[in-house]
Amino acid sequence: MAQLTFREAIARGIAQEMRRDESVLAIGEDIGAAGGVFKGTVGLFEEFGPVRVRDTPISEQAILGAAMGAAMTGLKPIAEIMFSDFFAVCWDIVVNEIAKSRYMTNGQMTFPLVIRSGNGGGLRFGAQHSQSVENWAMMVPGLKVVVPSNALDVIGLMAAAVRDPDPVIFLEAKALYASKMEVPDGDIVDTLGTAKVLRQGTDATVVALGAMVPKALKAAEELASMGIDCTVVDVRSLVPLDTKTILREISATGRLFTVEENPRLCGWGGELSSIASEEIFYDLDGPIVRITTPHIPLPAADALEDMAIPSVQRIVATVSQSMNA
């Protein structure tokens, strides 16, 4: 066992897969000797050298085009897009090329690649370096979307993403990079498309993703002291979506609250609400409530950003008000 930060877990997960498989390569801006702007690739350059851990120019289309071309010819690239906001300058490669090409070619091509990216707010970076884009990625047929919430899951889900034959968008919550936990030694391999029940309760089910997961857990503790016993589910994987686990946990309590960092419109919670309404409507004992960032660009000032992104206090207040209504 070792204490590991979320950012150290990223490098460990990548290294684990690079040691196992020579066709796994890492590329991105400043990921080599510099170790990544968020220090998520520290040590990889030293261990695997400049051929397998390669710095690129600030050319996001070239980075992802290179990953795609390499994947279709037998390699398993892990490409970094430094901030997920930058997907906007290379979204064509992601959506039109990577996501569609297997289907368009009637299965002639396979794209075993991972695109990792720092996602979300909390660092006071302002609107162009803070947004949560999981909803962008989720709505594109042909992309798998993974959002870990802790260091252990980072390693296991990174391994699962690298080993998966399909393109995986791996979103790293920037607010969690410094978070720490005990992680066992040795290889860790998880499974895509599996949600985790982190806390079992009887009154309400709180479903959260990424940086919202620790907040949901903290809120659940406070709610418990107020007499509201919550289940907390970590979604972990938006595509494939583990609806079996999530719906089972909603049915068990009869109430669903989602906690989403993405701006409100078309957030993953909207889709989950729709599925719950269609499939377990008669198990519900009250309205489905979504707790999200409002439909605004994220402001820079700490006071404003803290108001925008769901907080422990907002989760507690929203759940308790709704449960006591």
Partner 1 sequence: MTTTATVPVLDLEAKLELYRVQVALRQFEKRAYDLFLENFVKGTSHLSLGQEAIAAGFAAAMRSDDYTFATYRGHAHTLARGVPMTPVLAELMGRTNGLMAGKGGSMHLTSVEHGVMGSYAIIGAHLPIACGAAWSAQYRGTEQVAVCFFGDGSTNIGAFHEALNFAAIWKLPVVFVCENNLWMEYTRTTEITAVPNPAADRASAYGLESIIVDGNDVDAVYEVAAAAMTRARAGEGPSLIEALTYRHGGHSRADPGKYRPDEEVAEWLAKDPIPMYHARLLTEGATEAQLVEIELSVAAEVEKATEEAKAGPTPGADLLMKDVWADGGSAWRN
The residue from 37, 42, 109, 123 that contacts partner 1 (CB under 8 A) is 109
Query: Which of 179, 191, 200, 243 is the binder for partner 1 (CB under 8 A)?
Result: 243
- Rounded to a whole number of angstroms, the minimum distance from the CB of residue 196 to partner 1 is 14
**Residue 104 interacts with partner 1 (CB under 8 A)?**
yes
Q: Which residues, in sequence order, are CB contacts of 130 under 8 Å at separation 6+?
A: 85, 120, 121, 122, 123, 174, 298, 305
Give the nearest distance from C-beta 225 to partner 1 in angstroms. Answer: 35
Task: Return the DSSP state at 271.
Answer: H
Binding status of residue 239 toward partner 1 by CB under 8 A: yes
- Chain positions 123 to 152 lying near partner 1, rule: CB under 8 A, are 141-142
Candidate list 129, 174, 236, 290, residue with the active-site label: 129
* Bridge pairing between strands 168-173 and 196-199: unpaired
Distance CA 242, CA 260 (A): 17
Q: Is 72 in the site for partner 1 (CB under 8 A)?
A: yes
Q: Is 157 in the site for partner 1 (CB under 8 A)?
A: no
Contact present, 125 and 305 (Cβ < 8 Å): no
**Least distance to partner 1, CB of residue 22, Å:** 9
Let me know: does 93 contact 68? Beta carbons within 8 Å. yes
Buried b (16+ CB within 10 A) or exposed e, 56-79: beeebeebbbbbbebbbeebbbbb
Using the 8-state DSSP alphabet, how is residue 227 labeled?
A: T
- 165 near partner 1, rule: CB under 8 A: yes
Confirm or reject binding of residue 34 to partner 1 (CB under 8 A).
Answer: no
Instruction: Tell me whether residue 295 is one of the annotated catalytic residues.
Output: no
Other C-beta atoms lying within 10 Å of the C-beta of residue 237: 26
User: Left if phi > 0, otherwise alpha if psi is -120 to 50, otherwise beta: which for 301?
Assistant: beta
d(CA 279, CA 314): 28
Please report whether residue 97 would count as binding partner 1 according to CB under 8 A: yes
Of 128-136, 150-158, 238-246, 283-291, which segment contacts partner 1 by CB under 8 A? 238-246
* Residue 264 DSSP code: S
Nearest partner of 231 among 276, 258, 198, judged by Cα: 198
Please say which residue, 66 or 323, places its beta carbon nearer to partner 1. 66
Residue choice 11, 64, 147, 212 for contact with partner 1 (CB under 8 A):
64
* Single residue of 46, 92, 182, 285 touching partner 1 by CB under 8 A: 92
Binding mask 176-195 for partner 1 (x = CB under 8 A): -----------------x--
Residue 71 or 208 having the CB closest to partner 1? 71
CB of 260 closer than 8 Å to CB of 272: no
Q: Does 29 bind partner 1 (CB under 8 A)?
A: no
Residue 321, interface with partner 1 (CB under 8 A)? Answer: no
H-run or E-run covering 236: none
Q: Which of 166, 172, 260, 261 binds partner 1 (CB under 8 A)?
A: 166
| Residues of the shown chain interacting with partner 1 in the complex, contacts defined by CB under 8 A | 25, 51, 54, 56-57, 59-75, 77, 92-93, 96-97, 101-110, 112, 141-142, 164-166, 193, 239-244, 275
